[in-house]
């Protein structure tokens, strides 16, 4: 029932959101053009972009999270008076769409239509792939292809994957044509994004590839200019290769291993020391060095090598390496030797030349060999047995780093603990026992021997405990690679992720290692051949060029990365980045202008395309694929390379090479000149090591002499978890953008996205929080409606807002406006909604409580709160904000409004408000403690009727001495109190504190806490404001919240105050005592007919006035509005009057009103209440009439 009710609320929000979106669309609210002669200083602008999503599926919450950073920033910057541009394109370049389309063709050919798959395979899914430790350490710059593949799901058949998207068989068949993908998914993406209410200028949208002749022309121009600048070169790159077919084996050529790419290792050269093992004796006369070569993903850990591992029963081979000179001898598996032969290790490409007689060497024949391990702490290490090594990955040789590799540590400990194991393989004690793990990397919470820590934590006793070891490896590798800090070597103090490439390059340069590449997994070609990785001719971007790197560093210096960690990541990426292949033979995209048999790959046609957004609406508006000219009527063929030079690079106009009229090109140039550069590019952190760094390189290449066109800021965010777990279709923990909107409404989803997190660490979208957010937004709208009804009825307190609570509320709103603006500027949206929504609502609730309910609030402030709340929330929840604006009957849409003005924050008033809040909290706690029975048989204490609050003007003398000492320490320590031990020593030296030393440190701790909250004012010897005045001004609230009949405020320096109270009371911490006073019970009756008001017995105390009795009466009568007038009436005949029948027409004909100024005489002993008037005393009897108007 509750779920249905909540669903109705979401449905109502969704319906309203659609209305708001139609309203925006009808006036083209988010369409922005550059002003004529666009002067960005006169008309400031803000240009934000998000990496255009790949179009082989629907957008999911991960996409949405990243693009929300642009969306929120644009929403805020609009309110700051800037012209804001947020365009959105759609990426179709690359292999995945083509591969999927071709797969569908093959499935149709093989299984018919609709396909009749083998029974055991129908709907087969492999389930979620378990992340292995090796996956964690793979080079993320190579991960684009596998990431894109992952989007397709886990089914073996593409047909079933398409069915999972809700497509029917007839529809699926059309996707065998790649054009269908380009027509189907981009419009769905637009629909989904519109349902979210994004502030996108849809006129500027487009798709990539040569299907779009305008974008195709743009990319060709970019690459021609890169080649002119000598940035594009021809050479060899690592490619999956079929030796049998003697050509690269692309996805469509594979029988298995689709989507598998090359995986780079560092080949560590462990030199075999003489005397060689018996099996290698024939090599002692050979001058060439002999190496066991170990493939590792973590070269930065080589400082911790203690030994090398071989599997006793694996077949190895000794073969000549070192290229044409064959100057070295390597020992590894024959499978890895075959791979190496295609990577320049052999004298003849593709031919492994084994050492005669050593074509096969069993692992056990090499055990005990002495080795020299580069970078190792030990001069000599030994080859030892490990029984878990496999021969289908790497080289079969494993270098051992037991400090940071749980497998290595477990195997080493097996050998240390088990002498029979050593003896079995001929391993002597000196080859094992002296070797201990070496601390090389420090990881928070894991120490400097992470593998040892995890093995002990999981109680791993043997190298055969595979499951436990895999768990340990995942945890250690993940933390070590991303959070570890180097303790040794030339990269000491650097993050391990940053050190990896640097150390690899240095080792290669010194001849201690080589680069080695093999397929990530086994790949079988359609010819039945197991593929290798080969160095093949290829066009590449020479990111290793030192001059180009220097320019990229210049761009980085100017760049706002929002995080030092992100900046460091960029710096290290620029350093290690080398040649990057920019062309492919298979897929979709733009053909290389000078070598059309190659396509420009997907990470290369997407580096400066933000510039294309600035002109797209004039070239191809209304057609995503550019099949018809846009408003300027310029044809795609008229966009020559020289024309693009004119538009983007300020080239001189030349009619011969620029077919389009100059005045039209001037419009394009004006748009570009105004909008560029990008002010913010938001992206996932995984793209720092590829796309985002390529973006920097390409901008400095194309606009080498114009840094004003280089990006202003690049913002990276973490991945988005869903309910604290990784999103994955296979596990069902997955949410598309469309589902998110349907489930939580657009603004409910947007609020949860803002609340998910802003840092580079992974963020978390919690569905329970999203549900709560929907309820908050819905309730806010309902509350606004209620407040407007109350306003219409004149129910609020009118007049200028002048009370203490009014002033505090105004001040808190001003504070929130400033803080929220600061967080929006910093793109810290989680903080922005904290101060601009959650805490802002708390300010309202607190104000309402202090005012005694809705109608006690000031009308002006209620309206100001509603307006300000809508404005503060507008960047994140624009639909709710727009609906609020409509309810307020504002003449303009909120999307056209400016950020609210705020007066300077009164810090003293904030202190006074905090003092009141903290004091009342303390009073409540003291009252609760008083009323709580102290034992099992104890009876509850009688509720007090009165209270006395004591406020201190200054601290007790000993506390004053402590504060004076702390002031000196604070000044001497450059505004810091330092360590408690030092403070205790200095306080102990103060003679006046000798007798109270035990009390000093608890007091110091309290002062320290206040110092954090209030700054140096916490060390003042007296309060910065009149505490008694603040408490007195809010006495009605204090009296009401503590449910007391009366409260008095006194200073502790008044006569007769108890010494204990003086001791317990200090500035900032008032003290309250409670009393039970005797009174006279009077029956208060209401004589008005049919008004729902009852009679009550209320005590009247000595010293009471008419206003104090009315206050007590209001507290007793529930439902009386604060703006209602309550009057008291006495019986003219106090004895007989109450017995008379009341007239409906004249209910108070036997009564006389009691003036507010009247004096009451309460005699508790005689139990009488008298009214003194004109020198006479009138007995009021036992009854008083009250009236509510």
Does the pLDDT at position 960 exceed 50? yes
Q: State how far the Cα of 74 lies from the Cα of 1175, in Å rounded to an integer.
A: 74
Does the pLDDT at position 983 exceed 50? yes
**How far apart, in Å, are the Cα atoms of 226 and each of 66, 540, 543, 764?**
30, 11, 12, 40
**Residues in contact with 95: Cβ distance below 8 Å, sequence separation at least 6, in sequence order:** 145, 148, 250, 251, 584, 586, 587, 602
Query: Does residue 275 have a cis peptide bond before it, meaning omega lies within 30 degrees of 0?
Result: yes
Mean pLDDT, residues 693-707 taken together: 96
* Per-residue pLDDT, 143: 39
Q: Can you give the pTM of this predicted structure?
A: 0.81
- The model's confidence at residue 144, banded by pLDDT at 50, 70 and 90, is very low
N- to C-terminal Cα distance for the chain?
41
- The model's confidence at residue 1142, banded by pLDDT at 50, 70 and 90, is confident
Ramachandran angles phi, psi of 296, nearest 5°: -130, 150
pLDDT per position as a tens digit, 603-635: 999 999 999 999 999 999 779 999 999 999 999
- The model's confidence at residue 125, banded by pLDDT at 50, 70 and 90, is very low
Q: Which DSSP state fits 177?
A: S
Does the pLDDT at position 260 exceed 60? yes
* Per-residue pLDDT, 122: 40
* Per-residue pLDDT, 1119: 66
Mean pLDDT, residues 159-170 taken together: 89
pLDDT per position as a tens digit, 530-584: 999 999 988 999 999 999 999 999 999 999 999 999 999 999 999 988 888 888 8
- The model's confidence at residue 980, banded by pLDDT at 50, 70 and 90, is confident
- Tell which residue, 857, 851, 740, has the closest CA to residue 797: 857
User: Average model confidence (pLDDT) for the chain?
Assistant: 91
Q: State how far the Cα of 818 lies from the Cα of 899, in Å rounded to an integer.
A: 10
- Highest averaged pLDDT of the listed ranges 388-397, 867-876, 1020-1029: 867-876
Q: State how far the Cα of 113 lies from the Cα of 323, in Å rounded to an integer.
A: 52
In this structure, the chain runs to a length of: 1189
pLDDT per position as a tens digit, 731-743: 888 999 999 999 9
- Tell which residue, 911, 903, 832, has the closest CA to residue 871: 832
Do 769-909 and 1080-1188 share a fold? no
* Per-residue pLDDT, 2: 58
* Per-residue pLDDT, 128: 40
Q: State how far the Cα of 687 lies from the Cα of 1130, in Å rounded to an integer.
A: 82
| Bridge pairing between strands 361-362 and 45-49 | unpaired
Q: State how far the Cα of 240 lies from the Cα of 1123, in Å rounded to an integer.
A: 81
Q: State how far the Cα of 322 lies from the Cα of 328, in Å rounded to an integer.
A: 5
> Strands, E, within 691-837: which ranges?
714-717, 720-722, 725-726, 763-765
Q: State how far the Cα of 278 lies from the Cα of 425, in Å rounded to an integer.
A: 14
* CB-based contact 239:536 (threshold 8 Å): yes
Count the helix, strand and coil residues of the chain and give each as a percent rounded to the nearest 5.
Answer: 45, 15, 40
* Per-residue pLDDT, 639: 97
Does the pLDDT at position 126 exceed 60? no
Lowest-confidence segment of 181-195, 468-482, 914-928 by average pLDDT: 468-482
| Bridge pairing between strands 946-951 and 1071-1075 | antiparallel
* CB-based contact 695:711 (threshold 8 Å): yes
- Tell which residue, 902, 817, 825, 900, has the closest CA to residue 77: 825
Mean pLDDT, residues 810-834 taken together: 98
- Highest averaged pLDDT of the listed ranges 33-47, 419-433, 1051-1065: 419-433
Which CATH superfamily does the domain covering 769-909 fall into? Isoleucyl-tRNA Synthetase; Domain 1 (1.10.730.10)
* Per-residue pLDDT, 1182: 92
Class of CATH domain 1080-1188: alpha beta
Does the pLDDT at position 229 exceed 70? yes
Residue 549's H or E segment, with its range, is helix 546-558
Other beta carbons within 10 Å of 1107: 13
* CB-based contact 746:68 (threshold 8 Å): no
* CB-based contact 383:368 (threshold 8 Å): yes
* Per-residue pLDDT, 86: 98
* Per-residue pLDDT, 127: 40
* Per-residue pLDDT, 153: 41
Residue 3's H or E segment, with its range, is helix 2-26
**Residues in contact with 366: Cβ distance below 8 Å, sequence separation at least 6, in sequence order:** 277, 279, 280, 292, 310, 316, 331, 383
Q: Tokens for 674? A: 């105004």
Q: In CATH, what number does 262-519 get?
A: 3.90.740.10
* CB-based contact 88:202 (threshold 8 Å): yes
> Strands, E, within 607-713: which ranges?
680-684
- Highest averaged pLDDT of the listed ranges 160-164, 395-399, 1034-1038: 395-399
Does the pLDDT at position 204 exceed 50? yes
Does the pLDDT at position 250 exceed 80? no
Q: State how far the Cα of 780 lies from the Cα of 770, in Å rounded to an integer.
A: 15
* Per-residue pLDDT, 30: 97
Mean pLDDT, residues 352-376 taken together: 96
* Stronger pLDDT, 853 or 26, i.e. the higher one: 26
Mean pLDDT, residues 459-481 taken together: 88
Does the pLDDT at position 1121 exceed 90? no
Mean pLDDT, residues 1058-1080 taken together: 89
* Per-residue pLDDT, 1: 40
- The model's confidence at residue 142, banded by pLDDT at 50, 70 and 90, is very low
Q: State how far the Cα of 108 lies from the Cα of 100, in Å rounded to an integer.
A: 12
Lowest-confidence segment of 500-514, 721-735, 909-923, 1009-1023 by average pLDDT: 1009-1023
Other beta carbons within 10 Å of 499: 24
Helix (H, G, I), strand (E, B) or coil at 1049: strand
- Highest averaged pLDDT of the listed ranges 656-660, 961-965, 979-983: 656-660
Q: State how far the Cα of 760 lies from the Cα of 650, in Å rounded to an integer.
A: 37
Instruction: Give domain limits for the chain.
Output: 262-519, 769-909, 940-1075, 1080-1188
* Per-residue pLDDT, 1056: 85
pLDDT per position as a tens digit, 663-683: 999 999 999 999 999 999 999
Q: What's the longest Cα–Cα distance across the chain? A: 134
* Per-residue pLDDT, 123: 41
Does the pLDDT at position 920 exceed 90? yes
What is 1085-1149 written as a DSSP string?
Answer: E---TTS----EEEEE-TT--HHHHHHHHHHHSTT--TTS-EEEEEESSTTTGGGSPPPSSSTTT
Does the pLDDT at position 908 exceed 50? yes
Lowest-confidence segment of 126-140, 189-203, 1165-1179 by average pLDDT: 126-140
Residues above pLDDT 70, as percent of the chain: 96
Other beta carbons within 10 Å of 1164: 15
* Per-residue pLDDT, 1062: 85
Q: Tokens for 714? A: 């690049």
**How far apart, in Å, are the Cα atoms of 436 and each of 296, 388, 401, 475?**
20, 21, 10, 22
Does the pLDDT at position 298 exceed 60? yes
């Amino acid at each position: 029932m509750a779920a249905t009710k909540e669903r109705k609320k979401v449905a109502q929000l969704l319906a309203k959101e659609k209305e708001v979106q139609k309203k925006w669309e009808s006036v083209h609210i988010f369409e922005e053009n550059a002003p004529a002669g666009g002067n960005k200083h006169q008309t400031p602008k803000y240009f934000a972009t998000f990496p255009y999503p790949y179009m082989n599926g629907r957008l999911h919450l991960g996409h949405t999270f990243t693009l929300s950073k642009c969306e929120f920033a644009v929403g805020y910057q609009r309110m700051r008076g800037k012209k804001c541009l947020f365009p959105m394109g759609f990426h179709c370049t690359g292999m995945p769409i083509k591969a999927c389309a071709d797969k569908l063709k093959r499935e149709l050919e093989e299984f018919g239509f609709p396909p009749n798959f083998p029974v055991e395979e129908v709907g087969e899914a492999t389930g979620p792939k378990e992340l292995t430790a090796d996956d964690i350490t793979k080079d993320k710059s190579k991960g684009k292809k596998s990431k894109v593949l992952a989007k397709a799901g886990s089914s073996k058949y593409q047909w079933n994957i398409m069915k999972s998207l809700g497509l029917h068989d007839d529809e699926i068949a059309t996707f065998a044509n790649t054009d269908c993908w380009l027509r189907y998914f981009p419009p769905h993406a637009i629909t989904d994004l519109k349902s979210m209410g994004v502030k996108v200028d849809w006129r500027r949208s487009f798709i990539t590839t040569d299907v779009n002749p305008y974008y195709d022309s743009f990319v060709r121009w970019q690459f021609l200019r890169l080649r002119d600048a000598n940035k594009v070169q021809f050479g060899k790159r690592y490619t999956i290769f079929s030796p049998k077919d003697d050509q690269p084996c692309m996805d469509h050529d594979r029988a298995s291993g689709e989507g598998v790419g090359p995986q780079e290792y560092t080949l560590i050269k462990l030199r075999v020391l003489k005397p060689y093992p018996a099996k290698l004796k024939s090599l002692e006369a050979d001058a060439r060095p002999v190496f066991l070569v170990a493939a590792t993903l973590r070269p930065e850990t080589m400082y911790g090598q203690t030994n090398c591992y071989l599997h006793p029963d694996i077949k190895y081979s000794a073969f000549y390496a070192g290229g044409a000179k064959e100057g070295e001898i390597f020992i590894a598996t024959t499978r890895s030797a075959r791979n190496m032969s295609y990577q320049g290790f052999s004298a003849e490409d593709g031919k492994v030349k084994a050492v005669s007689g050593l074509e096969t060497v069993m692992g056990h024949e090499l055990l005990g060999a002495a080795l020299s391990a580069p970078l190792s702490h030990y001069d000599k290490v030994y080859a030892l047995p490990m029984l878990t090594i496999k021969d289908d990955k790497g080289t079969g040789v494993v270098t051992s780093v037991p400090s940071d590799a749980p497998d290595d540590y477990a195997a080493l400990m097996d050998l240390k603990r088990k002498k029979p194991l050593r003896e079995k393989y001929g391993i002597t004690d000196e080859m094992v026992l002296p070797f201990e793990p070496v601390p090389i990397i420090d990881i928070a919470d894991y120490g400097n021997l992470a593998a040892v820590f995890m093995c002990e934590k999981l109680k791993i006793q043997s190298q055969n405990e595979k499951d436990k070891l895999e768990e340990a490896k995942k945890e250690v590798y993940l933390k070590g690679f991303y959070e570890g800090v180097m303790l040794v070597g030339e990269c000491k103090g650097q993050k391990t992720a940053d050190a990896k490439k640097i150390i690899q390059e240095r080792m290669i340069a010194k001849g201690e290692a080589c680069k080695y590449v093999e397929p990530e997994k086994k790949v079988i070609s359609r010819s039945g051949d197991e593929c290798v990785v080969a160095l093949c001719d290829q066009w590449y971007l020479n990111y290793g060029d030192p001059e180009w790197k220097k320019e990229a560093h210049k761009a980085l210096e100017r760049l706002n990365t929002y995080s030092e960690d992100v900046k460091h990541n960029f710096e290290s990426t620029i350093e290690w980045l080398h040649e990057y292949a920019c062309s492919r033979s298979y897929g979709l995209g733009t053909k290389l202008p000078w070598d059309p048999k190659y396509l420009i790959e997907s990470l290369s046609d997407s580096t400066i395309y933000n510039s294309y957004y600035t002109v797209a609406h004039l070239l191809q508006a209304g057609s995503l694929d550019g099949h018809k000219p846009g408003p300027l009527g310029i044809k795609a063929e008229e966009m020559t390379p020289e024309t693009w030079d004119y538009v983007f690079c300020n080239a001189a106009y030349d009619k011969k090479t620029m077919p389009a009229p100059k005045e039209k090109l001037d419009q394009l140039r004006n748009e570009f000149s105004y909008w560029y550069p990008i002010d913010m590019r938001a992206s996932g952190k995984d793209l720092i090591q590829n796309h985002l760094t390529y973006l920097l390189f390409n901008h400095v290449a194309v606009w080498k002499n114009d840094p004003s066109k280089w990006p202003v800021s690049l913002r990276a965010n973490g991945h988005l978890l869903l309910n604290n777990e990784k999103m994955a279709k296979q596990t069902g923990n997955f949410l598309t953008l469309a589902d998110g909107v349907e489930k939580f409404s657009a603004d409910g989803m947007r609020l949860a996205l803002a609340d998910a997190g802003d840092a580079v660490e992974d963020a978390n979208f919690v569905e329970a929080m999203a549900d709560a957010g929907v309820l908050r937004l819905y309730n806010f709208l309902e509350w606004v409606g209620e407040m407007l009804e109350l306003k219409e009825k004149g129910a609020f307190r009118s007049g200028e807002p002048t009370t203490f609570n009014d002033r505090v509320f105004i001040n808190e709103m001003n504070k929130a406006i400033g803080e929220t603006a600061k967080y929006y500027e910093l793109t810290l949206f989680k903080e922005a909604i904290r101060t601009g929504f959650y805490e802002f609502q708390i300010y309202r609730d607190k104000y309402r409580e202090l005012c005694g309910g809705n109608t006690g609030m000031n009308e002006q402030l209620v309206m100001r709160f509603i307006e300000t709340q809508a404005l503060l929330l507008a960047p994140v929840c624009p639909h709710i904000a727009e609906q609020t604006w409509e309810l307020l009957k504002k003449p303009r849409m909120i999307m056209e409004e400016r950020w609210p003005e705020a007066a300077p924050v009164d810090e003293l008033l904030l202190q006074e408000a905090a003092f009141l809040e903290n004091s009342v909290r303390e009073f409540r706690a003291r009252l609760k403690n008083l009323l709580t029975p102290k034992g099992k048989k104890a009876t509850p204490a009688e509720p007090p009727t009165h209270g006395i609050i004591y406020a201190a003007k200054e601290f007790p003398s000993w506390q004053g001495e402590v504060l004076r000492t702390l002031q000196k320490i604070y000044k001497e320590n450059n505004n810091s109190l330092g360590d408690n031990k030092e403070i205790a020593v200095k306080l102990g030296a103060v003679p006046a504190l000798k007798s109270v030393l035990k009390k000093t440190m608890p007091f110091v701790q309290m002062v320290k806490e206040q110092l954090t909250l209030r700054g140096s004012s916490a060390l003042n010897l007296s309060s910065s404001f009149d505490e008694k005045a603040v408490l007195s001004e809010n006495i009605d609230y204090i009296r009401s919240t503590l449910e007391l009949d009366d409260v008095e405020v006194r200073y502790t320096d008044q006569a007769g105050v108890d010494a204990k109270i003086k001791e317990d009371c200090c500035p900032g911490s008032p003290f309250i005592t409670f009393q039970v006073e005797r009174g006279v019970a009077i029956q208060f009756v209401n004589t008005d007919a049919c008004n729902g008001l009852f009679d009550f017995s209320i005590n009247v105390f000595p010293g009471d006035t008419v206003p104090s009795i009315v206050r007590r009466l209001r507290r007793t009568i529930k439902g009386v509005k604060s703006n209602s007038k309550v009057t008291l009436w006495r019986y003219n005949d106090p004895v007989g009057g109450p017995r008379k029948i009341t007239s409906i027409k004249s209910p108070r004909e036997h009564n006389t009103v009691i003036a507010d100024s009247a004096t009451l005489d309460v005699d508790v002993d005689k139990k009488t209440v008298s009214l003194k008037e004109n020198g006479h005393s009138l007995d009021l009897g036992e009854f008083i009439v009250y009236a509510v108007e």
